[in-house]
Amino acid sequence: MLNLGDILPLPTPWPELTAFLETRRSNLAKLMREPGPNPKDLMQILNIAARVPDHRKLAPWRFIVFQGQARADMGTHIRKAFISETPNAPADRQSFEAQRMMRAPLIIAVISAPIDCPRETPKWEQTLSAGAVCYNMLLAAQSLGYGAQWLTEWFCYNEHIISAMGLNGDERVAGLIYMGRIDTPSTERARPNLQDKLTYWEN
Ligand SMILES: Cc1cc2nc3c(=O)[nH]c(=O)nc-3n(C[C@H](O)[C@H](O)[C@H](O)COP(=O)(O)O)c2cc1C
């Protein structure tokens, strides 16, 4: 447990951490199973996720945990929202939508919750901080040995679901982070050619 003003370790070469970052990939939610993070691991994941750069320390994000029956209950909302968007969809597709939250034992919604502050921190920067929370959460979960994936899919943008989750004002779902045990390794995916993304600025 850290206290305000505690002296933290200096950056030091840490080959295991570098190798973890060099090989990290997401894990597919549909391949996850029990057990998800236990209560102690959940708190550690949340604590790590919240340790992100944050201009003016606004903490412009919050968390909603979905576990147990709450996943099925949210699934009922997702099914309803799906039917109102796609009334003629076949029954098996409706059931698929109802099961979306059941893919993983634990899901954390990271909510971007930008704040109107007198000394303006641009909302763009506050949104970026919420994205950093999502990524830090992936790393935290994987560092504890859980599979993790960041998904939004269609329903995070659906008005009915946004309201069922209890979002207010400018709040938006930055991501749903699915977590659980994973036994199937990911494989390397296509990567952009870094040379296409890189310039060295010169005057
Ligand atoms: C904001 C955000 C939303 C995403 N939503 C989805 C999604 O709805 N469906 C999906 O297949 N992948 C989605 N992804 C991509 C996956 O999380 C993942 O990044 C992708 O499968 C590449 O895997 P990697 O993390 O192993 O590189 C999303 C990524 C981000 C950053």
The 10s digit of each residue's pLDDT in 7-33 is: 999 999 999 999 999 999 999 999 999
pLDDT tens, residue by residue, 87-116 = 999 999 999 999 999 999 999 999 999 999
Domain 36-182 maps to which CATH number in 3.30.428.10, 3.40.109.10, 3.40.50.300, 3.40.50.1820? 3.40.109.10
* Residue 75 token pair: 């699934």
Q: Cβ-count burial of 45 within 10 angstroms (0-12 exposed, 13-18 middle, 19+ buried)?
A: buried
Residue having the nearest C-alpha atom to atom 8 of ligand 1: 153
Strand partners, 67: 106
Alpha carbons 32 and 67: distance in angstroms, whole number: 14
* For the chain, domain boundaries: 36-182
Determine the residue of 108, 136, 150 to mutate for testing ligand 1's pocket, defined as the one with the most ligand atoms within 8 A of the Cβ atom: 150
> What pTM was computed for the model?
0.97
Q: Which helix (H) or strand (E) holds 139?
A: helix 123-143
Nearest CA to ligand 1 atom 1: 175
Q: Which residue's entry shows tokens 């634990």? A: 106
> Rounded to a whole number, what is the distance in angstroms from the first to the last CA of the chain?
47
Q: List, for residues 162-179, the tens digit of each pLDDT value.
A: 999 999 999 999 999 999
pLDDT of residue 117: 82
